[in-house]
């Protein structure tokens, strides 16, 4: 990782008089923050657009109404600043790598919790933190935090101790005595498989996902046009009323005037909203909403719908979605002549410099991008106007003017976000790429508007049952989309195309081959995630076949049932792990009516189109997931047999298929009464 703190200096070789003026953060040739400042702005060192926290604010409030920046806490403030500065400047003690500005911000969050406890316990310096007191702090964390978060919060003291030689206010000794943070936190178990941590991110259940995506598609495909048309009418009304208001106001008050508002601009904005309200509400009512407030909520839902579609059909991370800009969608002919659609953005691997990357998507994503582009046009235009205003102001402002640094910071922010595809609006023409609390709140509200209420059937694969409960709204978050995408694509690769198949069909064998070519600008990590989920789904399927007494059919199914019923003692301690390893030599594919294990032999693929071939194939396994399919196959044969012009060969073929379907259903536990087959209406004697 590059050293983002390369501009920092060694405090041990810096005089006490010079230390306060040392730069902490720099943007170009401009110093944003100095060591003495109570706010350290680290935004130039955060490449992602949607960073939630960009500044360290040292004015931490305490329970006694004092703040860390008060004189009585000067020793703690100096110790905190020195630790964070040193932490950023030197290599991490154990990894021997430089850490990022994002890690510094995270460390500040952990250190802040410790400082609040220290002040509450009347501990004035880190030198007073004996192991006994550190253990007392650990006990307070155990009461309110989960195990993994406890370890992170306690680790800050270990890191502080590791940097002792660079600090003045030193810990007297190792903070945990003869133990370690992981044991103080109760040694929380970490789910692992083959040495890798298992996923802890929720997968959106298929029923819930279907509701959310269908609502998003409805907004993008059906509601976007009328909503944007109404939005444009409202803007036209405001533009005309603003022009008339400003002319009348300037005629009446040519030199301006004073009022209860902070400035004339604010007064005119309030006055405009009153004057335009009747016309705007009338326009809103024609669309079917009661007020401009409700209409604005509809526009937020439209933006969220675009967010959902881009996320669920690409597998992009939250930071990558925030990098999308106007013009990010393209089409290109693939190596096999097929047209592929792409989203272009940035990825932030290991927090290195942003890397241009593309993600393959279905065409509906292009529609969502187009809607989001049109939705954001007015705000982007206002942002561009604000940039011009700031640039013109900076041309005439003096070097010593205190507002210059504020305007420069605002200009940097505006230029960074001005072309964002998805964003939130702020005052004075400011826009910020979508992320953080704004995205989370909008997704929760969208889940509610979609009626995504959790039912018992949705709980099967839920990880955190404290957060996800039956009868409550599904707690939709942005980071759920990537793993959900990987799982659904894996199902598609396995042949399970029951859910959202129209939009996931672009993840076919061709698409898999395209990603496997390792194009330099393709996000290979999402492909890796898909294969991981595919392997895990395969292991789950195989475990069910081998471990349980579930009935199976097909030639391969019969062999597995024979294996299960053998008299040998079973010595496998972890069946899932056994199935994962077995999966290294077996590749399960879905046909829709069976599972196929063939690799180079078998039916040569004919079973995809002639389902009854799978009933006797030694490479085929049919399980309970195919029950409804085989019931349908049986019913189809019954209906065809009723055709009056059915020839003898076709009649014989239908009867053969009917009997094989009935035997398959019986194998799977269905109670089937053999259908009474009528004689052929056409035979050799006619």
The alpha carbon dihedral of 19, 25, 31, 33 has a sign of negative
> What pLDDT sits at residue 519?
56
Question: Which pLDDT score is estimated for 637?
Answer: 93
| CA-wise closest residue to 169 among 77, 32, 37 | 77
pLDDT score of 354: 84
Assess if residue 346 is contained within a domain: yes
Kindly state the average pLDDT of the residues 125-134: 94
Question: Does 190 score more than 50 pLDDT?
Answer: no
| Tally of domains within the chain | 3
Specify the residue for token string 């992320």. Answer: 435
% residues pLDDT > 70 (the chain) = 86
Do both 68 and 18 map to the same domain? yes
The pLDDT assigned to 487 comes to 84
Q: Are residues 521 and 579 in the same domain?
A: no
Q: Is residue 497 part of a domain?
A: yes
The yes-or-no verdict on residue 497 having pLDDT over 70 is: no
Q: Which of 525, 557, 589 is the last residue of a domain?
A: 525
- According to the model, what pLDDT value does residue 192 have? 43
Same domain, 205 and 292: yes
Residue 499, in any domain of the structure: yes
Q: How far is CA 228 from CA 235, 283, 287, 311, 373, in A?
A: 10, 12, 11, 22, 11
For residue range 314-338, list pLDDT tens digits in order: 989 999 999 999 999 999 876 667 7
* Pairing verdict, β 423-425 and 431-433: antiparallel
Which of 156, 189, 222 marks a domain boundary? 189
What's the pLDDT score for residue 578? 73
Is 606 part of any domain?
Answer: yes
Instruction: Give the pLDDT band of residue 218 (cuts 50, 70, 90).
Output: very high
Residues 267 and 371 grouped into a single domain: yes
Tell me the C-alpha distance between 388 and 393, whole Å: 9
- The neighbour count for residue 467, using CB atoms within 10 Å, is 12
Please check whether residue 530 lies inside any domain of the structure: no
Give the pLDDT of residue 499.
Answer: 44
Mean pLDDT of 590-613: 81
* Whole-number percent of the chain with pLDDT over 90: 49
Determine which of 139-148, 176-185, 463-472 has the lowest per-residue pLDDT on average.
176-185
**pLDDT at res. 335:** 61
pLDDT for the residue numbered 291: 85
Distance CA 656, CA 123 (A): 85
Contacts of 596 (CB under 8 A, 6+ apart): 588, 589, 590, 602, 607, 614, 619, 620
487 and 616 in a single domain? The answer is no
Of the three residues 163, 189, 215, the one that is the final residue of a domain is 189
Considering the domain architecture, whether residues 158 and 112 belong to the same structural domain is answered as yes
Give the per-residue pLDDT at 47: 87
Q: Looking at the structure, do residues 260 and 294 belong to the same domain, yes or no?
A: yes
Q: What is the mean pLDDT of the chain?
A: 85
Question: Residue 511 above 60 pLDDT?
Answer: no
Confidence tier at 505 by pLDDT (50, 70, 90): low
Q: Does 19 reside within a domain?
A: yes
pLDDT one-digit tens code per residue, 8-19: 999 989 998 999
Same domain, 241 and 352: yes
Alpha-carbon distance of 386 to 398, in angstroms, equals 20
Cβ neighbour number for residue 350 with a 10 Å cutoff = 6
User: What backbone phi and psi angles, to 5 degrees, belong to 613?
Assistant: -60, -30
Q: What is the pLDDT of residues 220-233, one digit of tens each?
A: 999 999 999 999 99
Considering only the C-alpha atoms of the chain, give the largest distance between any 2 of them, rounded to a whole number of Å.
115
Task: Quote the pLDDT of residue 503.
Answer: 52
| pLDDT at residue 498 tops 50 | no
Q: Is residue 684 one of the residues assigned to a domain? A: no
**pLDDT classification of 583: cutoffs 50, 70, 90:** low
User: Does 543 or 380 have the greater pLDDT score?
Assistant: 380
pLDDT digits (tens, 9 = 90+) for 330-360: 998 766 677 888 999 998 865 567 889 999 8
**pLDDT at residue 191 tops 50:** no
Is 145 in the same domain as 236? no
3-state SS string for 405-471: HHHHHHHHHHHHHCCECCEEECHHHCEEECCHHHHHHHHHHHHHHCCCECCHHHHCCCCCCCCCCCC
Task: State the pLDDT confidence band at 76, using cuts at 50, 70 and 90.
Answer: very high
In a domain, 534, yes or no: no
Read off the tokens for 139: 């006990």
568: containing domain? 548-667
**Strand pairing category for 196-197 and 192-193:** antiparallel
Helix (H, G, I), strand (E, B) or coil at 83: helix
Assign 685 a pLDDT band (cuts: 50, 70, 90): very low
Query: 681: closest CA among 647, 656, 657, 653?
Result: 647
pLDDT at 502 over 80: no
Question: Which pLDDT score, from 0 to 100, does residue 575 have?
Answer: 73
pLDDT at residue 193 above 60?
no
Query: Is the pLDDT score of 37 beyond 50?
Result: yes
The pLDDT tens digits of the residues spanning 413-439 come to 999 999 999 999 988 788 999 988 899
Letter string b/e over residues 436-448, b meaning 16 or more CB atoms within 10 A of that residue's CB: bebbbebbbbbbe
pLDDT by residue (tens digit) across 532-571?
Answer: 888 888 888 888 888 878 899 998 888 888 888 776 656 6
pLDDT of 165: 94
> Which pLDDT value is given to residue 540?
84
Pair (225, 363) in one structural domain: yes
Q: Band of the pLDDT at 6, cuts 50, 70, 90?
A: confident
Residues 160 and 244 in one domain: no
Residues 205 and 170 placed together within one structural domain of the fold: no
């Amino acid at each position: 990782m590059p050293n983002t703190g390369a501009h920092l200096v060694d405090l041990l070789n810096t005089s006490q008089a010079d230390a306060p003026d040392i730069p902490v953060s720099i943007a170009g040739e401009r110093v944003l923050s100095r060591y003495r400042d109570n706010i350290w702005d680290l935004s130039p060192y955060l490449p992602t657009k949607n960073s939630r926290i960009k500044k360290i604010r040292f004015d931490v409030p305490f329970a006694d109404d004092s703040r860390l920046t008060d004189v009585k806490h000067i020793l703690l403030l100096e110790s905190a600043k020195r630790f964070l500065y040193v932490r950023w400047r030197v290599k991490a003690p154990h990894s021997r790598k430089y850490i990022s500005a994002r890690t510094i911000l995270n460390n500040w969050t952990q250190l802040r919790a410790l400082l609040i406890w220290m002040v509450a316990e009347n501990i004035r310096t880190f030198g007073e933190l004996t192991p006994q007191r550190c253990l007392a702090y650990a006990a307070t964390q155990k009461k309110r935090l989960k195990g993994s978060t406890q370890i992170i919060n306690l680790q800050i003291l270990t890191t502080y101790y590791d940097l002792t030689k660079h600090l003045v206010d030193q810990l007297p000794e190792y903070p945990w005595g003869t133990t370690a943070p992981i044991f103080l936190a109760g040694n929380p178990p970490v789910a692992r498989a083959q040495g890798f941590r298992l996923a802890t991110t929720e997968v959106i259940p298929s029923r819930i996902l279907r509701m959310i995506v269908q609502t998003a598609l409805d907004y993008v495909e059906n509601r976007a046009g009328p909503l944007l048309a109404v939005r444009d009418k409202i803007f036209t009304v405001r533009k005309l009323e603003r022009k008339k208001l400003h002319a009348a106001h300037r005629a009446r008050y040519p030199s301006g005037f004073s009022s209860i508002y902070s400035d004339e601009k604010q007064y005119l904005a309030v006055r405009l909203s009153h004057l335009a309200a009747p016309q705007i509400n009338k326009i809103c009512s024609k669309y079917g909403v009661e007020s401009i407030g409700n209409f604005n909520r509809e526009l937020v839902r439209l933006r969220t719908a675009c967010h959902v579609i881009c996320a669920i059909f690409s597998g992009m991370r939250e930071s990558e979605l925030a990098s999308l800009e106007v013009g990010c969608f393209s089409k290109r002919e693939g190596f096999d002549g097929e047209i592929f659609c792409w989203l272009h953005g940035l990825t932030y691997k290991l927090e290195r410099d942003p890397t241009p990357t593309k993600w393959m998507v279905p065409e509906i994503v292009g529609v969502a991008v187009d809607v989001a582009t049109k939705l954001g046009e007015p705000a982007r235009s206002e942002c561009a106007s604000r940039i011009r205003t700031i640039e013109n102001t900076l041309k005439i402002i003096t070097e010593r003017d205190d507002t210059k640094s504020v305007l420069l910071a605002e200009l940097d922010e505006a230029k960074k976000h001005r072309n964002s595809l998805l964003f939130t609006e702020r005052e004075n023409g400011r826009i910020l790429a979508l992320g953080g609390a704004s995205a989370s709140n909008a997704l929760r509200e969208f889940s509610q508007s979609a009626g995504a209420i959790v039912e018992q059937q949705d709980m099967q694969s839920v990880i955190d049952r404290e957060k996800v409960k039956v009868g409550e709204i599904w707690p939709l978050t942005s980071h759920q989309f990537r793993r959900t995408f990987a799982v659904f694509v894996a199902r598609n690769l396995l042949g399970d195309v029951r859910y959202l198949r129209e939009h996931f069909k672009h993840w076919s064998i061709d698409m898999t081959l395209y990603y496997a070519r390792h194009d330099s600008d393709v996000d290979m990590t999402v492909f890796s995630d898909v294969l991981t989920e595919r392997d895990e789904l395969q292991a789950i399927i195989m475990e069910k076949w081998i471990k349980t007494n579930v009935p199976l059919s097909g030639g391969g199914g019969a062999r597995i049932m024979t294996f299960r019923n053998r008299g040998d003692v079973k010595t496998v301690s972890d069946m899932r792990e056994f199935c994962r390893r077995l999966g290294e030599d077996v590749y399960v594919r879905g046909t829709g009516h069976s599972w196929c294990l063939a690799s180079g032999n078998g039916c040569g693929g004919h079973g995809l189109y002639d389902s009854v071939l799978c009933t006797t194939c030694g490479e085929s396994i049919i399980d309970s997931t195919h029950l409804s399919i085989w019931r349908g196959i049986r019913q189809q044969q019954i209906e065809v047999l009723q055709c009056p012009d059915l020839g003898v060969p076709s009649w014989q073929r239908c009867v053969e298929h009917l009997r094989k379907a009935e035997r398959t259903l019986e194998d799977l536990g269905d109670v089937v009464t053999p259908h009474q087959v009528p004689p052929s209406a056409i035979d050799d004697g006619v």
